[in-house]
Structure 1
């Protein structure tokens, strides 16, 4: 399957005029003479498909003039890229990874859990999420039956296709609100019916949860069946993955047990025809869009969608300062000079004979010390080799900096582990024996069919699942959420290197389970209030 082509250069022009109700607090800049989502735009051939690609493009691209540009003012491109900001907040703030260059704005505070509301990475994530909402809202306003009729769109096949586009972007809007709900606990709410030029009201987690649930349940029957849409586009399985995620975390979000609903959604996704890729690492290669396991990804392409997104960061950052192993990963031999290293507590999850031949264990130790006493010393701490800018057959990506590797936001292995967690927590409808089967399928895949590392039902404990999720899904944007759900993120029951700014880790306060609303957003929208403790 081919990747869709993005046209983020089209996302310009009329924003400050037609979408100000959503974007005033984002400082979106319009620096291109083209006008996106306007009557003039829709006079162009294939305009509706281009408009759809523009909305998808906001998940990967940041501006109109290349990888170094950002249409969110005041921060650089990398700090405003959707997937990179998500990765910073969900992984860099946890026990899995450290960033060496702490002069990069915002990174030191994130990875030491000492952030404030002025952190630019929060502004980038919140701004990019709200920009996604704004784009979807305007696309929906411009594709109503009335608008289509006024433009002479009468072909039923064309109308049906545009309606498919409308359903897809509604899921993208729900995805953005899901991430905002998870990370910040609240957001300004706007939809296509909101008044223009008026700041959106604040929705808390309960309101956002209800909206996301209702929106997705209403749109699922009208989406394409799993694996029948173009790669990189939304289908029923993507919508069900978002539902499964909010149900899995419902106790955190709204104080309710919705695990039975999570099981239902997991079963639906599993029935969608996805299968585990026989080779674990082929989920993280330059041709991972071919993987039978991929449910939804954030796309990257070394030419067409150059960006400083999560996979470009991870692959270049994986290259060791000592090892100079970038060529093996399909980038420059020195990469980014040892930008990323592993915290000790993550490395220890792969200790023991069960993991000696585990394909998920791509940790490189060499002559390195496992401990990182000095974050700036790039020779300390082990490194990782999970992601690659080479294809499954070993061919290097077309660009040695900007990678071809997509970021796997949702894949089947996660569904198996969500189901297993629900079973371990006693959820109605979840079979413990089926859960063990799913976990062992992952372990056998990781061990090339060998069953020596398989588990029994009495080993399927919550502590096991939390560790297994890290072994299977590390660096994929899940860890912070998982630690919070298991009660291991704040407090001091589980510490990791540099947690709370202590070299061996110290307890952190409960309010850090939510990130603060960015200072700039509070100043721009009087309806927003700050989270407690900030």
Structure 2
């Protein structure tokens, strides 16, 4: 199994002191170092860097139930898990059986409010990332590094750390912009315990774009950094995502810019993994397709994060098929909504590797959300390697969460090109270029063992096709809510799915739900914040 060398359990005391006042953090480990101790050596800087990355995978410095966010449960504040819940359970992709679990019922029924604990967990964990990043940047100025006697190659490497941390902070603000539409804005230039002013989407967009453009030339080239650390492609991917969704975020289309960033990522040397499902196995760290992942290790990072929840959750209640995936399972926690299954209807998908659902004797319709025997189950993710070797732990998996991968870049390029050349939501325009068709068909051939049996022609490709193809390729990877909003099929749209709007057959809801409410606790702690309309 892979070794996660850069995630350290020790996080500086300064990190805990510098978090924004809308949340409290506590040091729960006697091994926590003081800033002077931690930042006195090059190795200490790498440990601190590990804290910034580690906040995306870990919740605290203790066991899987620990959290350094005081008063917030680890299970409702792990970054990958919260992100996955918000982008997936709120859509047509999945349901969670155990509605007594805090906050889940309101998310999957689209009845959430500003008191939802998962929203508080996501808001707090993401702003903690900003705080931890800011602290690293305060401690890593060239002047301060030099004053500590660190010079030469060590100082140069710390400069790379510093630039990576700026990208991680930009990524945090990107998530705040996407999910909440606003955020308290704080940088390393602000004092500790500063209540940041509220930045709206336009302000956040401008900051993230400016920051990433400035830092990209100073990052390591794509695929040259050690596994788990970001490079130029990660930063380019954030920009590509922003540009694809710019019409939603700032009311201005930026499709040409999206295409340009996608092309830069593609030129970085990533290659489609021959076997689609190898991207979702315990040794997916070896995949040539993955651009950035949230790391998971059955020994080193035990927590109930995204892939641990997904893989244990996809085990069927009656099938008890956890041995297929190297886990025990959570008793049928996750099931597929009917509409995502129907994306694979038709003989063209008979041999499609992406069609992994298991039907058996199960009904496709879910009439009771708490009935784990209703609805098909998925078999996409696994805690086994490509060679079939199970992970070291049957609960906490070794499978990294594929946050960004090349297949998504191909589809983003094609969609952006079509929109730039006249395709619109609800329209039938078929303007996919030869390049776009090539990218789409590369994914289709990969899904069909290299055979062109399911390749498409320009006359078959419009935007309705594109959003369905994104669902087929990227389901359960945390993109669906964002995609549905961009295609006007979420709030304010007329596309319904099972239990949308808390109705078994689905019902429309208003566009106010296209952003989540700010948590009550966060608004109470920072008087600069205002609630989103409709909440």
> What TM-score results when the alignment is normalised by the length of structure 2?
0.96
Q: Which residue of 2 aligns with 1:354?
A: 348
* CA separation of 1:10 and 1:23: change in aligned 2, threshold 3 A: farther
SS in 2 for 1:405: coil
Q: Which residue of 2 aligns with 1:122?
A: 119
Cα distance in 1 between the residues matched to 2:65 and 2:228 = 23
Tell whether the 8 Å contact from 2:114 to 2:517 is kept in structure 1 after alignment: yes
What's the CA shift for 1:144?
Answer: 1.1
Cα distance in 1 between the residues matched to 2:403 and 2:464 = 24
Q: Which residue of 1 aligns with 2:381?
A: 387
Alignment of 1:273-312 (within 5 A): 273-312=269-308
Q: Which residue of 1 aligns with 2:246?
A: 250
What's the CA shift for 1:8?
Answer: 5.2
Q: Which residue of 1 aligns with 2:255?
A: 259
1:443 matched to 2:437? The reply is no
Q: Which residue of 1 aligns with 2:427?
A: none
SS in 1 for 2:371: coil
Tell whether the 8 Å contact from 1:16 to 1:23 is kept in structure 2 after alignment: no
Q: Which residue of 2 aligns with 1:27?
A: 24
What's the CA shift for 1:35?
Answer: 4.1
Tell whether the 8 Å contact from 2:432 to 2:458 is kept in structure 1 after alignment: no
Q: Which residue of 1 aligns with 2:435?
A: 434
Cα distance in 1 between the residues matched to 2:119 and 2:294 = 19
Cα distance in 2 between the residues matched to 1:316 and 1:206 = 39
What's the CA shift for 1:16?
Answer: 5.0
Structure 1 residues 17-76: Cα deviation after superposition (integer angstroms, max 9, x where no partner): 4x1xx4321222222334456112223571111111111000000011111111122332
Q: Which residue of 1 aligns with 2:504?
A: 503
SS in 2 for 1:316: helix
Tell whether the 8 Å contact from 2:7 to 2:47 is kept in structure 1 after alignment: yes
Q: Which residue of 1 aligns with 2:10?
A: 10
Cα distance in 2 between the residues matched to 1:268 and 1:16 = 37
Tell whether the 8 Å contact from 1:14 to 1:37 is kept in structure 2 after alignment: yes
What's the CA shift for 1:190?
Answer: 0.7
SS in 2 for 1:403: coil
Tell whether the 8 Å contact from 2:4 to 2:300 is kept in structure 1 after alignment: no
1:396 matched to 2:390? The reply is yes
1:183 matched to 2:184? The reply is no
Cα distance in 1 between the residues matched to 2:223 and 2:363 = 45
Tell whether the 8 Å contact from 1:359 to 1:447 is kept in structure 2 after alignment: yes
Q: Which residue of 2 aligns with 1:194?
A: 190
Cα distance in 1 between the residues matched to 2:11 and 2:20 = 13
Q: Which residue of 1 aligns with 2:314?
A: 318
Match for residue 101 of structure 1 among 98, 111, 126:
98
What's the CA shift for 1:3?
Answer: 4.6
Cα distance in 1 between the residues matched to 2:270 and 2:200 = 34
Cα distance in 2 between the residues matched to 1:427 and 1:214 = 27
Match for residue 138 of structure 2 among 134, 141, 153:
141
What's the CA shift for 1:355?
Answer: 0.8
Q: Which residue of 2 aligns with 1:529?
A: 530
Match for residue 371 of structure 1 among 365, 372, 376:
365
Cα distance in 1 between the residues matched to 2:202 and 2:473 = 30
* CA separation of 1:170 and 1:309: change in aligned 2, threshold 3 A: same
> What TM-score results when the alignment is normalised by the length of structure 1?
0.96
Match for residue 78 of structure 2 among 65, 77, 81:
81
Cα distance in 2 between the residues matched to 1:454 and 1:37 = 58
RMSD between superposed Cα atoms in Å:
1.5
Tell whether the 8 Å contact from 1:5 to 1:304 is kept in structure 2 after alignment: no
Match for residue 152 of structure 1 among 141, 149, 159:
149
Cα distance in 2 between the residues matched to 1:197 and 1:179 = 22
* CA separation of 1:36 and 1:6: change in aligned 2, threshold 3 A: farther
Cα distance in 2 between the residues matched to 1:145 and 1:3 = 30
Tell whether the 8 Å contact from 1:354 to 1:452 is kept in structure 2 after alignment: yes
Cα distance in 2 between the residues matched to 1:330 and 1:388 = 7
Match for residue 340 of structure 1 among 334, 337, 340:
334
Cα distance in 2 between the residues matched to 1:140 and 1:235 = 18
1:91 matched to 2:88? The reply is yes
Q: Where do 5+ consecutive residues of structure 1 fail to align?
A: none
Number of aligned positions between the proteins: 527
SS in 2 for 1:10: coil
Cα distance in 1 between the residues matched to 2:87 and 2:479 = 6
Q: Which residue of 2 aligns with 1:61?
A: 58
Tell whether the 8 Å contact from 1:2 to 1:231 is kept in structure 2 after alignment: no
Q: Where do 5+ consecutive residues of structure 2 fail to align?
A: 423-430
Cα distance in 2 between the residues matched to 1:424 and 1:3 = 42
SS in 2 for 1:26: coil
SS in 1 for 2:453: coil
Q: Which residue of 2 aligns with 1:212?
A: 208
Structure 1 residues 263-314: Cα deviation after superposition (integer angstroms, max 9, x where no partner): 0000000000001000000000000010000000000000011110010000
* CA separation of 1:431 and 1:374: change in aligned 2, threshold 3 A: closer
Cα distance in 1 between the residues matched to 2:282 and 2:129 = 26
